[in-house]
Amino acid sequence: MDRTLTVPSLARISVSLASTIKDVVNRYLRVVGRMTKYIISGKSDVLVRGQSAASILGSTAMNVHEPLDFICGMDWQLGGPQLNADGTPLGLSGATIQWKLDSVDGGTNFVTLTDGNGISVDLAASSVSIDVPAAETAALSPGTYRDYLIVTLQTGPKIPMWTGIIRAGAQPA
């Protein structure tokens, strides 16, 4: 049995059971962020984004995530579950959460978001969702940046949960 993935102006791509939709998408399309669900959406054949653009596991052991690719001038979404070093969910009740996008050397901050201002928290899932609006990313020059997620627990410790590289590309012409 074949599945069919319809993509604007690319006609139809057949997927056999032997290959996954992810394999086909990686072969024929440029995915922005990491595709974590095999639901594809996009505004054009140039930009296709997985339903969850980037899922990142945060840990009190400070994860270094894989490089992520986004487009300047578009909304960016990333986030994921936040765990203690032993793998148990991190209690986020009363915590203050901050996401920063800095130069690779950390010398310049370009974007800072906080809980309630670009960051939403799901306490039951110990998960954070970060929505960087297009207005913020439009001010960025295409290039390489470093991001950080920092959680300050109600009890006081400030914990860097993740860091990694974000490559920001130019808007398609």
pLDDT at residue 4, as a whole number: 40
Long-range contacts for 121-124 (Cβ within 8 Å, ≥24 apart)? 121/92, 121/95, 121/97, 123/92, 123/93
Contact 163, 65 (CB under 8 A): yes
pLDDT at residue 146, as a whole number: 97
Pairwise pLDDT comparison (139 vs 62), residue with the higher score: 139
Q: What is the pLDDT of residues 117-137, one digit of tens each?
A: 999 999 999 999 999 999 999
User: Whole-model pTM above 0.85?
Assistant: no
Pairwise pLDDT comparison (110 vs 1), residue with the higher score: 110
